[in-house]
Structure 1
């Protein structure tokens, strides 16, 4: 009696609403004739599959429950139609590809849209579909919006690998007189996620000789998460082997802990990812403050993370805050020397990811900066 009622009340206190899609199969009307069956004798295949439907609709606090459900039913109907088209387009004999709905957050006012792709078909084979989507939503043809890696990651939804993304989003941007903040893309679009990690897992606790390689794997991870590259992030050995393959290093370099610098990063990016880069030479750290316009323009047009190396240290620059009026500049730095846990508060409070002034750099050291150029593809 009472005990079971209490248990039931606890179970129903959740805020999640589960919906089951049911279709009406009977015909409305009071005058129904007996059903007539027609049988046609021919060979056919019966295919059965479960459709992984996933719909998102926007509602406001002013909408009634009825309005919200009507929108959801309309979205489900449209998605069923899209799934049917995808399955018929990619069916091969008795092989049926399962449709895969994905959500993509486009620049406002377009917002969140859902696209159905055939599961198991590589992004490289879906370029025609992406071109049609770019035309439909009037998007530029030099930036990937609809690759699987660009799929929207909902807030508070954990990542499967357990590693942090976007630690810099927890920071407060510096306030400069007439200053503008330019960050790695796609953060110039609302709520998109970049792929910055604090450290690639196999790279941890390997010593100073691996810091350049740490930064390289971070940059590779960014290109992968933005949809520019497929496959796993290259390992240290694969990076070293690439330098050997192009004749930049001797065979003894593979498996060693020797340094690589910005020039080698440029070579490996081109060899493994087909990404070209520009190299910026700065004769001493005190001159970095004069590079504000160039760095701001890089993040505005290319949006890729920058590798900087000088002296015995290397860092990743994720953005700049620069004032054209006063020339003041701040650098958003991701420090590869961090070897702790995935603790956002420690990482930001201790400055492992944070805004740094011009005095952060060794004023007398020579610096090379590798500025990867974003491939102009969809």
Structure 2
């Protein structure tokens, strides 16, 4: 049974680090899409779709215009990015496919960026970023890189029916992580930086 998606699940988190820090967080609102939130069991393959859905819901925090995984698969086939057979499959998508879909579905404008192995994602803030790699192939959303080497990470890998943001925060599905432990130095990363 589908759950009612939660909004802005990072609100209420304690700030990271010790002492004074300057933070750059996204502005606007988003909906947290995760495994099974629409009744589809997409564990093990749906994280890219769920991250794309979260990004499509930003900056208004509404489900209008947010594509279902089946619509994403159809669009990628119709665009010629994927050969026939993706529709109805458990095929993964990543940042490159998400960038194409953001443009196709009229979502926020994405700016793809490739980060070579060992470099680790970083940068400014005030925007949402989709990130995924090769050795570290799990898709996730960075909601606001901090200037003190922390990133705010939103994982779509939650399964179940979270009742509130505190439950997600306590389980670690959303939270601050030190950059040094958030990324695998053996992986390259593709990022999709969005602006409203």
TM-score range, shorter chain: 0.7 to 0.9
Q: Where is the helix percentage greater, Structure 1 or Structure 2?
A: 1
Match status 1:353 vs 2:170: no
Match status 1:170 vs 2:12: yes
Q: TM-score, normalised by structure 1?
A: 0.46
- Report runs of 4+ in structure 1 exceeding 4 Å deviation: none
Residue 170 of structure 1 and its aligned partner are, at CA, apart by 1.6
Q: Is the 8 A contact 2:7 2:61 kept in 1?
A: no
Residue 277 of structure 1 and its aligned partner are, at CA, apart by 1.6
d(CA) in 2 for partners of 1:257, 1:202 = 16
Matches within 5 A, 1:250-261: 250-261=83-94
d(CA) in 1 for partners of 2:92, 2:155 = 17
- Which of structures 1 and 2 has the larger relative contact order (alpha carbons within 8 angstroms, sep 6+)? 2
Matches within 5 A, 1:301-312: 303=127, 305-310=128-133, 311-312=136-137
d(CA) in 2 for partners of 1:180, 1:240 = 40
Deviations 1:185-234 (A, max 9, x none): 12xxxxxxx123152722653122111011111111224536xxx84521
Residue 171 of structure 1 and its aligned partner are, at CA, apart by 0.5
Q: TM-score, normalised by structure 2?
A: 0.85
> How many positions carry a matched residue from both structures?
189
Structure 2 match to 1:48: none
Matches within 5 A, 1:237-276: 237-273=70-106, 275-276=108-109
Q: Which runs of 5+ in 1 are unaligned?
A: 1-160, 187-193, 323-327
Q: Is the 8 A contact 1:321 1:330 kept in 2?
A: yes
Q: Is the 8 A contact 2:4 2:37 kept in 1?
A: no
Alignment CA distance shift 1:261-1:174 (3 Å): same
